[in-house]
């Protein structure tokens, strides 16, 4: 069996040495995920080893183009492609290519596939409608569409993006309670019937523009224990629901069900139980208003680390409050659950700023170990992929991909308190205010960042003229890679 095949995605294995973790709070937090068996002394030697290892795999599907116009699909563990990307950057730099050291993502489609199988195992009654806003990546959308997922869209642009793939309009919910009139009109033309509302004005708009819409009333829930609280902007308090439903009935509109959202990144599973209880009350209010609801949308907020616990709480709540559900369709709007850990980012150190004593090489110089003494500047920042720091309350921590022209980073390398900054001329562009990094890091070395799939590339800008980072895609290794490719090829053929 080849080395790549034993590097199963996201699984700890026994490696020969550690890739250095740089988290100030947990020095060994990344040690298992980023150790390697391919020991290298230089980028050139590692390039030969990586390519020879790839040849040993039992697949001919390397660099395969399934969808015209999209990047090719690679095979193998994502860590290998992080290193391959670094090697490629070195080659381009030697050729004088502009922006040769550009930062880049590596997306592991096999991880998304595994997350979908995990969803089906734990929530078999709930159909996921992927929240496109989280990461509208073309491969992510195609894979989830091929796996039978629906899509949560918030704009005409997102709806068009999904329907262009051949997705049936019945697999789309326009889950924005406050929509532009022109967007509602386009929805009607596209045949997208399901859409949410939480106020009277929205009912008047829909009655005037799209009276045949299938409406879903979005109720307010307790989102106080979530990363991003959506109740500040959306959701009808239960006390207002009877009047809203009466107005909908008066306007002869078809309300088919109830939706809620406990907030993005919910870390308390009991919030789902409370929300389902409120939804039950709303179903009863619907009967009083003359409706027979047949849809329950449990929204998003699903976290990878707590998914099994959340799924258990949600299943129990549905069983308790909706014991009779033969005619009940249940959907959800997961986003970060699918993609957060599917993408990593590699960024190049383009500049370094340090006081003379830090450059002396001595570890005995008089510097406060709790204060950053060296500033590293990388070629992506908060106006690019790291906008998740500002908009999604994330705190990305770097680890070392390459050190002084080698992927081999011994654990004995001395560390120094450092800060990491983005490339723009804005002082707000700080990626990491303090972290422990090797004192021997140089311009040209590379840092890696994990969990960069959710709310990163989707909100990146080209502020200051810096381009958005591109992505390299892999379908993982072994039988799972073949399974992902099989699904994508079938979808491409059908389209």
CB neighbour list of residue 5: distance below 8 Å, 6 or more residues apart: 57, 477, 478
Catalogue the E-assigned strands of 147-213.
Answer: 150-153, 172-174, 194-197
Tell me if 335 sits within 8 A of 300, measured CB to CB.
yes
In sequence order, the β-bridge partners of residue 374 are 418
Which H, E and C letters describe 305-364, residue by residue? CCHHHHHHHHHHHHHHHCCCCCCCEEEECCCHHHHCCCEEEEEEEEEEECCHHHHCCCCC
Please tell me which residue in 153, 246, 266, 425 is annotated as part of the active site: 425
Count CB neighbours of 371 within 10 A: 9
**Percentage helix, strand, coil, to 5, in the chain?**
35, 20, 45
Phi, psi angle pair for 440, to nearest 5°: -100, 10
- Residue 306 exposed, middle or buried by CB count within 10 Å (0-12, 13-18, 19+): middle
Dihedral of alpha carbons 403, 453, 89, 74, sign: positive
Q: Which residue has the tokens 């993005």?
A: 264
* 425 a catalytic residue: yes
For residue 171, give the 3-state DSSP assignment: helix
Half-sphere exposure of 12 (CA within 13 A, CB side): 7
C-alpha 217/C-alpha 219 separation (Å) is: 6
User: Which residues are catalytic, by number?
Assistant: 425
């Amino acid at each position: 069996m080849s080395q790549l095949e034993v590097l199963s995605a996201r699984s700890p294995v026994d490696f020969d040495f550690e890739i250095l973790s740089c988290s100030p709070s947990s020095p060994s937090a990344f040690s298992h995920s980023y150790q390697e068996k391919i020991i290298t002394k230089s980028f050139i030697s590692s390039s030969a080893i990586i390519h020879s290892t790839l040849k040993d795999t039992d697949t001919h599907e390397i660099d395969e183009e399934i969808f015209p116009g999209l990047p090719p699909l690679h095979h193998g563990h994502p860590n290998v492609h992080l290193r391959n990307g670094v090697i490629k950057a070195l080659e381009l730099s030697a050729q004088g290519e502009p922006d040769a050291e550009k930062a880049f993502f590596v997306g592991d489609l096999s991880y998304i596939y595994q997350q979908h199988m995990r969803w089906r195992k734990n929530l078999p009654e709930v159909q996921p409608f992927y929240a496109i806003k989280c990461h509208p990546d073309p491969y992510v959308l195609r894979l989830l569409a091929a796996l039978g997922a629906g899509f949560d869209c918030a704009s005409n642009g997102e709806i068009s993006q999904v329907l262009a793939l051949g997705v049936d309009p019945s697999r789309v919910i326009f889950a924005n309670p406050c929509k532009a009139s022109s967007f509602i009109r386009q929805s009607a033309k596209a045949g997208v019937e399901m859409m949410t509302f939480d106020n009277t004005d929205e009912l008047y708009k829909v009655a005037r523009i799209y009276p045949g819409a299938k409406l879903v009333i979005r109720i307010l829930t307790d989102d106080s224990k979530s990363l991003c609280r959506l109740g500040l902007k959306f959701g009808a308090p239960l006390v207002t629901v009877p009047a809203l439903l009466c107005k909908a009935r008066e306007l002869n509109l078809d309300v088919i069900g109830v939706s809620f959202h406990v907030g993005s990144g919910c870390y308390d599973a009991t919030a789902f139980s409370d929300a389902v209880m409120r939804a039950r009350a709303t179903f009863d209010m619907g009967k009083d208003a003359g409706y027979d609801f047949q849809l329950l949308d449990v929204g998003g907020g699903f976290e990878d680390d707590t998914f099994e616990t959340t799924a258990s709480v949600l299943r129990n709540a549905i069983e308790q409050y909706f014991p009779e559900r033969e005619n009940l369709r249940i959907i959800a709007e997961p986003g970060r659950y699918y993609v957060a850990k599917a993408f990593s980012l590699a960024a190049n150190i383009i500049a370094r700023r340090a006081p003379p004593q830090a450059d002396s090489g001595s570890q005995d110089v008089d510097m406060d170990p709790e204060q950053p003494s060296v500033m590293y500047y990388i070629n992506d920042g908060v106006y690019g992929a790291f906008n998740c720091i500002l908009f999604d309350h994330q705190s990305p921590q770097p680890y070392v991909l390459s050190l002084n022209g080698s992927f081999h980073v011994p654990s004995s390398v001395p560390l120094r308190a450092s800060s990491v900054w983005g490339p723009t001329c804005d002082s707000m562009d700080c990626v990491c205010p303090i972290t422990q990094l090797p004192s021997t890091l140089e311009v040209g070395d590379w840092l890696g960042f994990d969990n960069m799939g959710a709310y990163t590339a989707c909100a990146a800008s080209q502020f200051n003229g810096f381009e958005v980072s591109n992505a390299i895609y892999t379908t993982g290794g072994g039988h799972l890679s073949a399974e992902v490719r099989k699904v994508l090829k079938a979808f491409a053929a059908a389209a």
